[in-house]
């Protein structure tokens, strides 16, 4: 396992993160604890959860593991999130000081700790002034309740606004962002990646296998069945079967992944993860496993190094669709200039 700094902080984390959205829903507690055991034994350190996962149960499951493994727990970098509803009242949701105070204390209690290394805002809140949210987070850092903070699912302008509001007030800056990012979903490269690079923010991509598509488990024009996410619900969310199956780009990307995987004797999942680890601004990639075997396969990406030619092959095959301006060739050409003799 390799390690990188957590964004612009001094904390180091493993380049693969254990995502725990499955804990308490798709993975029962014994399986979840074995998954943590396997991750930590492989050198993994960053464990990511959220108060909303499995109705708070994911945090409780992690908390019980931490309590039962005090020595191993010392090496864990713990991350959780707040923002989504924790009750039916009007103040039981959002990024207000009132809600975050309650949500953070509840997460600390469920996890059985007095400090969370990375506290993340799970989504933008258009109703709460950003200054209120950032001041709460700065206070939480000063109080020792959190080590640092980050965001999830923020847009480029939202990241930049938060960074400069924090700077203007002398508050602790954000260090990370969790975006959806994978070979099939690369839209964040237009605005979010540049904003993150400008601010020194580290990316923690979620859905790195595009809901299982990049693992090669689905076949063209064969509707999924059985105990997979799309087998159980073909219309599930962003990775829904019909739209992606009908998109030629999907199969061009999967063909490229398969070719590189075959050359290395690696799984397609490992190739997709290795490509993502090589992308600009990426600190650590979040693995979401339902079983120990899935996790073990994904952990193999830590030892897989792709050649420049292979990275280019994957990048070219998965190029996002863009118009000429402002993100295409014409727009990119105007993002730099020569001192003399050019535009």
Question: Which residues are catalytically annotated?
Answer: 53
Measured over all CA atoms, what is the biggest interatomic distance in the chain, rounded to whole angstroms? 67
């Amino acid at each position: 396992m390799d390690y990188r700094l957590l964004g612009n902080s001094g904390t180091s984390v493993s380049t693969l993160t254990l995502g725990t959205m499955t804990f308490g829903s798709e993975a029962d507690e014994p399986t979840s604890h074995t998954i943590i055991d396997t991750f930590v034994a492989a050198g993994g350190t960053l464990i990511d959860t959220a108060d909303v996962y499995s109705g708070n149960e994911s945090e409780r499951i992690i908390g019980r593991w931490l309590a039962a493994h005090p020595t191993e727990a010392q090496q864990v970098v713990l991350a959780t999130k707040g923002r989504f509803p924790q009750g039916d009242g009007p103040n039981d949701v959002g990024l207000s000081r009132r809600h975050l105070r309650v949500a953070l204390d509840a997460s600390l209690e469920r996890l059985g700790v007095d400090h969370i290394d990375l506290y993340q805002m799970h989504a933008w809140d258009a109703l709460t002034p950003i200054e209120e949210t950032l001041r709460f987070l700065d206070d939480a850092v000063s109080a020792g309740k959190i080590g640092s903070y980050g965001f999830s699912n923020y847009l480029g302008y939202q990241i930049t606004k938060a960074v400069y509001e924090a700077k203007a007030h002398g508050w602790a800056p954000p260090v990370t962002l969790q975006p959806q990012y994978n070979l099939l979903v690369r839209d964040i490269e237009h605005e979010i990646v540049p904003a993150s690079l400008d601010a020194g923010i580290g990316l923690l991509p979620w859905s790195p296998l595009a809901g299982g598509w990049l693992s090669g488990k689905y076949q063209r024009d064969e509707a999924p069945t059985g105990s997979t996410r799309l087998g159980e619900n073909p219309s599930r969310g962003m990775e829904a079967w019909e739209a992606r199956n009908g998109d030629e780009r999907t199969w061009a990307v999967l063909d490229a992944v398969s070719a590189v995987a075959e050359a290395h004797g690696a799984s397609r999942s490992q190739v997709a993860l290795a490509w993502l680890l090589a992308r600009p601004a990426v600190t650590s990639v979040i693995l979401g496993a339902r079983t120990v075997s899935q996790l073990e396969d994904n952990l193999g990406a830590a030892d897989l190094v792709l050649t420049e030619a292979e990275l280019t092959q994957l990048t070219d095959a998965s190029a996002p669709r863009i118009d000429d301006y402002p993100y295409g060739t014409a727009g990119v050409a105007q993002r730099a200039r020569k001192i003399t003799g050019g535009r």
